[in-house]
């Protein structure tokens, strides 16, 4: 972090983060993930519609020295997804050490959209994260009670104080909040307007003009910003105007007052004014799903628990019939911040009530921010794959909460099918150790994570285009 001081990190195919993986709708992808780390890890494809055994959640451990090779066909619209570890109890620390990468999907619709699309030129990935450093340069991995890993230094694409010299007047940024616990309120230093063009699961139908956007951990947004000739502007994270309804006197300080300069952007030396942005980018958003008669489930989030329970790898919390729209009512029942992420699918937000906070709810989503008291009503559907043996997860994506057990499991089955009693037996080959249990048992005094050296695992996408990040 300081000049001349190196920080040991983890990464995929490199020292930190990983390559941007790119695939098209219809492609069959086969990933080869070799774990060269000293610890068990998993690799979860966040936002991806895929068979549960390929999901890379806690039930697909990759032991050190072994290779995991999930395979699936891309069957969803163009979107900016990502991949990261998901071992129960250790997701936060492993992301924090550097394990994360983007997974971009393309389709005919995204090809036709008149948006900037030259990767690395006018289509720029931004993985925004925070870190704390010890005086010797190593990562400070001390969890704060209730807060977890909340850093005082931001990094973008793995580096501090980054700059981007644009060569075009219009730039699209694909932004991931890859932080463990930190919320970002993103704006530009001169307050200029910009357009939202995509959310977690794909393009919006109409570009939405805004001056700022909230991103909670795990969420993505695609934005388009126009630059003047010889422009200089800074992408910033600024304080949240109403503290996201959190009362710091009776809740942890989630860092909502903090401000950071994230990325200095300079405009090109020349270039003509960009044209108006196109509309009609995603007709799948023209109507909300018809949830008449749909089954309703409720998910109450409170103090590391969902519906009064902490994660148990041997317990199935929900059994879901495939192909039916369901209504999931998700409520933040405490005075902390949470968000809610569902594996395997993209949902629509039917309503968000009991809150004055306005997080991203447009478009296809897989993660939604919930301010204290907020109630989100979601239209959710799981198509295609059924499997009574391997579960998917739903959880808070603030990883300290998730690692403490704010997570549940569901299987997607054919009507009448029951979950396989083998689920979680032998903890799916991996011995989730006493260290895991020590980490997840105490609510307020979590153990420190011992620092470890950082050999890198390798990840190989066969049958897909790969781009270095
Ligand atoms: Cu939470």
Ligand 1 centroid from CA 400, angstroms = 8
Ligand 1 centroid from CA 112, angstroms = 38
CB burial class (10 A; 0-12, 13-18, 19+) of residue 191?
exposed
Ligand 1 centroid from CA 327, angstroms = 21
Q: What is the mean pLDDT of residues 44-68?
A: 95
Q: DSSP readout, 85-125? A: ---TTTHHHHHHTT--EEEEEE-HHHHHS-S---BTTTEEE
pLDDT of residue 171: 98
Q: What are phi and psi of 55, to 5 degrees?
A: -70, -30
pLDDT of 430 > 80? The answer is no
Rounded (10°) CA dihedral 271, 225, 103, 365? -150
Domain boundaries, the chain: 295-434
Q: What is the mean pLDDT of residues 219-247?
A: 96
- Residue 123 banded pLDDT, cuts 50, 70, 90: very high
Q: What is the mean pLDDT of residues 218-246?
A: 96
Tell me which fold the domain 295-434 belongs to.
Immunoglobulin-like (2.60.40)
pLDDT of residue 347: 98
Ligand 1 centroid from CA 118, angstroms = 36
Which candidate, 252, 200, 260, 220, places its Cα nearest to that of 401? 252
The model carries a pTM of: 0.91
Ligand 1 centroid from CA 99, angstroms = 20
Ligand 1 centroid from CA 335, angstroms = 10
Q: Distance between CA 390 and CA 401 in Å, rounded?
A: 23
Mapping DSSP to helix (H, G, I), strand (E, B) and coil, where does residue 425 land? Answer: helix
Ligand 1 centroid from CA 298, angstroms = 16
Express each pLDDT in 362-420 by its tens digit.
999 999 999 999 999 999 999 999 999 999 999 999 999 999 999 999 999 999 999 99
Ligand 1 centroid from CA 217, angstroms = 10
Express each pLDDT in 305-325 by its tens digit.
999 999 999 999 999 999 999
Express each pLDDT in 240-258 by its tens digit.
999 999 988 777 789 999 9
Q: DSSP readout, 239-256? A: --TTGGG--TTTS---ST
- Gyration radius (Cα) of the chain, Å: 21
Q: Which residues surround ligand 1, an ion (CB under 5 A)?
A: 338, 396, 398, 401
Hey, how many other C-beta atoms are within 10 angstroms of the C-beta on 308? 9
CA distances from 244 to 150, 215, 415 (A): 17, 12, 41
- Residue 3 banded pLDDT, cuts 50, 70, 90: low
Q: Distance between CA 115 and CA 290 in Å, rounded?
A: 30
Among 138-142, 263-267, 451-455, the range scoring the smallest mean pLDDT is 451-455
Ligand 1 centroid from CA 396, angstroms = 5
Ligand 1 centroid from CA 370, angstroms = 9
73-77, 332-336, 432-436 — most confident range: 73-77
Ligand 1 centroid from CA 399, angstroms = 8
Ligand 1 centroid from CA 365, angstroms = 17
Q: Exposure string (b/e) for 5-40, b if CB count within 10 Å is 16 or more?
A: eebebbbbbbebbbbbbbbbbebebebebbbebebb
pLDDT of residue 144: 82
Determine the longest span between alpha carbons in the chain, in angstroms.
65
Ligand 1 centroid from CA 104, angstroms = 26
Residue 55 near residue 90 (C-beta atoms within 8 A): no
Q: Distance between CA 397 and CA 91 in Å, rounded?
A: 10
pLDDT of residue 1: 52
pLDDT of residue 421: 86
Q: What is the mean pLDDT of residues 443-448?
A: 30
Q: What is the mean pLDDT of residues 219-241?
A: 97
Ligand 1 centroid from CA 301, angstroms = 8
Q: Distance between CA 49 and CA 384 in Å, rounded?
A: 9
pLDDT of residue 248: 81
Which candidate, 93, 246, 266, 112, places its Cα nearest to that of 180? 93
pLDDT of residue 427: 62
pLDDT of 448 > 90? The answer is no
Ligand 1 centroid from CA 375, angstroms = 14
Ligand 1 centroid from CA 367, angstroms = 12
Ligand 1 centroid from CA 3, angstroms = 35
Residue whose pair of structure tokens reads 């942890």 in the numeric block: 252
Higher pLDDT, residue 238 or 423: 238
Ligand 1 centroid from CA 344, angstroms = 20
Express each pLDDT in 170-205 by its tens digit.
999 999 999 999 999 999 999 999 999 999 999 999
pLDDT of 457 > 60? The answer is no
- Residue 446 banded pLDDT, cuts 50, 70, 90: very low
Ligand 1 centroid from CA 361, angstroms = 18
- Residue 4 banded pLDDT, cuts 50, 70, 90: confident
Which residues have CB under 8 Å from 9's CB, separation 6+?
Answer: 15, 16, 97, 98, 139, 158, 454
Q: Distance between CA 318 and CA 174 in Å, rounded?
A: 33
**Assigned token pair, 273:** 């004014």
On average, the pLDDT of the chain sits at 89
Which candidate, 166, 171, 172, places its Cα nearest to that of 268? 166
Distance from the Cα of residue 142 to its chain's centroid: 22
Ligand 1 centroid from CA 35, angstroms = 28
Ligand 1 centroid from CA 342, angstroms = 14
Q: DSSP readout, 173-235? A: EEEEE--SS--EEEEETT---EEEEEETTEEEEEEEEES-EEE-TT-EEEEEEE--TT-EEEE
Ligand 1 centroid from CA 218, angstroms = 12
Q: Distance between CA 211 and CA 173 in Å, rounded?
A: 15
Q: What is the mean pLDDT of residues 346-358?
A: 96
């Amino acid at each position: 972090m300081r000049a001349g001081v190196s920080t040991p990190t983890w990464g995929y195919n490199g020292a930190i983060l990983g390559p941007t993986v790119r695939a098209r709708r219809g492609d069959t992808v086969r990933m080869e993930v070799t774990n060269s780390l000293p610890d068990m890890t998993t690799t979860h494809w966040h936002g991806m519609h895929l068979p549960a055994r390929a999901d890379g959640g806690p039930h697909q451990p990759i032991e050190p020295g072994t290779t995991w090779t999930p395979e699936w066909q891309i069957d969803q619209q163009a979107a900016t997804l990502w991949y990261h570890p998901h071992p129960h109890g250790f997701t936060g620390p492993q992301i924090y050490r550097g394990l994360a990468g983007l997974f971009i999907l393309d389709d005919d619709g995204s090809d036709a959209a008149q948006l900037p699309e030259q990767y690395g030129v006018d289509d720029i990935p931004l993985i925004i994260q925070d870190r704390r450093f010890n005086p010797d340069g190593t990562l400070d991995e001390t969890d704060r009670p209730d807060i977890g890993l909340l850093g005082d230094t931001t990094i973008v694409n793995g580096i501090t104080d980054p700059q981007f010299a644009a060569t075009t007047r219009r730039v699209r940024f694909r932004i991931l909040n890859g932080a463990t616990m930190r919320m970002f309120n993103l704006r530009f230093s001169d307050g200029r307007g910009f357009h939202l063009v995509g959310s977690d699961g794909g393009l919006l139908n109409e570009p939405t003009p805004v001056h700022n956007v909230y991103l909670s951990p795990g969420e993505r947004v695609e934005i388009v910003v126009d630059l003047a000739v010889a422009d200089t502007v800074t992408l910033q994270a600024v304080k949240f105007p109403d503290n996201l309804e959190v009362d710091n006197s009776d809740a942890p300080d989630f860092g909502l007052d903090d401000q950071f300069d994230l990325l200095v952007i300079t405009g090109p030396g020349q270039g003509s004014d960009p044209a108006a942005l196109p509309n009609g980018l995603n007709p799948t958003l023209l109507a909300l799903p018809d949830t008449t008669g749909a089954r309703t489930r409720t998910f109450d989030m409170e103090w590391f628990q969902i519906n009064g329970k902490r994660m148990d790898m041997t317990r199935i919390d929900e059994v879901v019939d495939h192909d039916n729209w369901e209504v999931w009512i998700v409520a933040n029942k405490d005075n902390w911040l949470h968000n809610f992420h569902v594996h395997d699918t993209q949902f629509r937000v039917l309503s968000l009530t009991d809150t004055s906070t306005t997080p991203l709810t447009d478009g296809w989503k897989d993660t939604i921010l919930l301010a204290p008291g907020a109630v989100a009503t979601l239209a959710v559907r799981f198509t295609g794959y059924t499997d009574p043996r391997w579960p998917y997860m739903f959880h808070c994506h603030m990883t300290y909460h998730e690692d403490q057990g704010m997570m549940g499991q569901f299987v997607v089955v054919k009507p009448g099918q029951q979950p396989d009693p083998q689920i979680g037996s032998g903890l799916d080959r991996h011995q989730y150790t006493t260290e895991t249990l020590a980490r997840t048992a105490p609510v307020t005094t979590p153990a420190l994570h011992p620092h470890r050296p950082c050999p890198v695992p390798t990840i190989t996408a066969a049958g897909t285009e790969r781009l270095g990040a």
